[in-house]
């Protein structure tokens, strides 16, 4: 079951049923990851993944059940935390996530997946192809090319 929850305060535990945790808090907070495969009620299995998003001005410090820092999710960032191993060798693998926008989102104002012709494209009809590019802030951008 996919469950998304927003942090309300510092020191909260991420539950084993949650797949996305967000923070819209202005200050820095700390959140605890569940134990990996130790039989407790908030234990997660090998392969469990949770996304943590700091979508406000505050950072989110992510720690394990013992209080050891796993990673810092800085304001505006999203990171994925993947449980690997078991109670004898538990490890949280952290990967930064990049924001991707779909072409339909980028062209919502135009109301079409095909850009308008004229000032933003060729004066006559043509076929558009999209080239994906990484922008300096980590987002993915699309450039329209007419053929």
Task: Please check whether residues 27 and 43 belong to one and the same domain.
Answer: yes
8/102: higher pLDDT: 8
Task: Please check whether residues 142 and 89 belong to one and the same domain.
Answer: no
Task: Please check whether residues 18 and 89 belong to one and the same domain.
Answer: yes
In this predicted structure, the answer to whether residue 87 has a pLDDT above a threshold of 90 is no
Task: Please check whether residues 47 and 90 belong to one and the same domain.
Answer: yes
Task: Please check whether residues 69 and 121 belong to one and the same domain.
Answer: no
pLDDT at 92: 93
Q: Which residue has the tokens 């006559």?
A: 124
Residues 58-82 have pLDDT tens digits of 999 999 988 999 999 999 889 999 9
Task: Please check whether residues 90 and 32 belong to one and the same domain.
Answer: yes
pTM beyond 0.95, yes or no: no
- Strands of the chain, DSSP E: 4-6, 12-13, 20-23, 29-32, 49-54, 60-63, 69-73, 78-84, 91-96, 128-134, 140-146
SS3 104: helix
* Total domains present in the chain: 2
Structural domain including 59 reads 4-96
Task: Please check whether residues 89 and 120 belong to one and the same domain.
Answer: no
pLDDT at 111: 44
Residue 145 confidence class, pLDDT cut points 50, 70, 90: low
Question: Which of 28, 69, 33, 26 lies closest to 51 in space, CA to CA?
Answer: 33
């Amino acid at each position: 079951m996919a469950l998304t929850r927003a942090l309300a305060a510092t020191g909260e535990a991420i539950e084993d049923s949650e797949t996305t945790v967000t923070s819209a808090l202005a200050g820095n907070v700390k959140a605890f990851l569940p134990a990996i495969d130790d039989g407790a009620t908030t234990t997660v299995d090998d392969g469990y993944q949770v996304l943590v998003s700091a979508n406000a001005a505050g950072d989110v410090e992510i720690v394990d059940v013992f209080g050891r820092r796993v990673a810092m999710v800085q304001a505006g960032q999203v990171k994925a935390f993947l449980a690997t191993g078991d109670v004898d060798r538990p490890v949280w693998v952290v990967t930064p996530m990049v924001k991707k926008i779909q072409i339909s989102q980028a062209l919502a104002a135009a109301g079409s997946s095909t850009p308008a012709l004229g000032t933003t494209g060729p004066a006559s009809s043509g076929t558009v192809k999209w080239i994906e590019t990484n922008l300096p802030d980590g987002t993915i951008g699309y450039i329209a090319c007419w053929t």
